[in-house]
Amino acid sequence: MEDTFKHKGWRQQMVTKLAAKGISDQRVLDAIGAVPRHLFLETMLDYMAYEDMALPIRCGQTISQPSTVAFQSELLDAEPDMKVLEVGTGSGYQTAVLCQMGLKVFSIERQKELFDVTKPLLAKLGYRAKCFLGDGFHGLPEYGPFDRIIITCGAPYIPADLARQLKVNGVMVIPIGGKSQEMVRVVKTGEGPDDLLQQRYGDCKFVPMLEKDVRCLT
Ligand code: SAH
């Protein structure tokens, strides 16, 4: 698979549409303009890769819609070289966008089949994310604390372990809810378990964040 002139043209049109929809962070627009989304999809979906839609990937999961990837990336408000934890590697597309923005990305996926395909794909395309197979509810305590945390599946609540692994003044972007969710930007204002300022950014729809056990903050 390659990144042809045709794909580059479609991608540029998509970036123009995202800007028209209100994405204004130039680093996000540049990253989306650079990452070949079609290479994160099955070849037969190639022609739909630059439509603003979520599309199916392995294991009954979905690659997030480009406008959602852009919006979550913008809400993160990250500076280059920051350490970012992503929960839900999936296809690796959001991971690649974060890498392209110059962030140090640590990404967790619970589906082995996705992990086994996506980790080598990211490496092959030159994105230097550290990929882990595991349960995102527990984060990566040995690699934290993180400047930013992004959850790309619908979480039932703010997982306590993730809040602990966020630096003070750090930001977590997390869709919270059941069948549909609300996009929440959490700012950690202190070391206490309640020092989490929550800002709400409207309804959204993600595949669920699945848990084995319950460790809950809110
Ligand atoms: N950012 C990805 C989104 C994939 S969908 C992309 O654009 O391709 C969300 C992913 O979260 C799925 O791959 C799902 O398996 C994963 N997921 C769900 N619950 C999880 C958990 N507890 N820990 C880690 N990953 C989880």
What's the CATH number where 21 sits?
A: 3.40.50.150
Is the link from the previous residue into 141 a cis peptide, with omega within 30 of 0? no
Select from 198, 152, 144 the least CA-distant residue to 175. 152
CA-nearest residue, atom 6 of ligand 1: 63
- For residues 20 and 16, give the distance between their C-alpha atoms in angstroms, rounded to a whole number: 6
Q: What letter does residue 47 receive in the DSSP assignment?
A: G
Any domain includes 19: yes
- Do the beta carbons of residue 34 and residue 100 sit within 8 Å? yes
Catalytically active residues are 64
In a domain, 18, yes or no: yes
CA of residue 5 to ligand 1 center, whole Å: 31
Residue 117 in tokens: 């395909």
Q: Along the 218 residues of the chain, how does pLDDT read in single tens digits?
A: 799 999 999 999 999 999 999 999 999 999 999 999 999 999 999 999 999 999 999 999 999 999 999 999 999 999 999 999 999 999 999 999 999 999 999 999 999 999 999 999 999 999 999 999 999 999 999 999 999 999 999 999 999 999 999 999 999 999 999 999 999 999 999 999 899 999 999 999 999 999 874 444 44
Domain assignment present for 213: no
> CB of 107 within 8 A of CB of 126?
no
For 155, the domain range is 5-204
Atom of ligand 1 nearest to the CA of 209: 19
| Confidence at residue 108, expressed as pLDDT on a 0 to 100 scale | 98
Classify residue 209: in a domain, yes or no: no
Q: Which protein residues are within 6 Å of ligand 1, measured from CB?
A: 57, 61-64, 87-88, 90-91, 93-94, 108-111, 114, 135-137, 152-153, 207, 209-211
What is the pLDDT at residue 79? 96
Query: Within a domain: residue 148?
Result: yes
Beta partners for residue 109, in sequence order: 133
- In this structure, which residue's CA is closest to atom 16 in ligand 1? 88
Closest CA to 48 of 11, 16, 73: 11
Written as six digits, the tokens of 61 are 């999961």
Task: Give the number of domains in the chain.
Answer: 1
* Ligand 1 centroid to residue 154 C-alpha, Å: 9
Radius of gyration of the chain (CA): 16
- 144 C-alpha to center of ligand 1: Å? 20
What are the phi and psi torsion angles at 53 (to 5°)?
-140, 150
Tell me, yes or no, whether 217 lies in a domain.
Answer: no
Is 198 within the bounds of a domain?
yes
User: Has residue 218 been placed in a domain?
Assistant: no
The model carries a pTM of 0.96
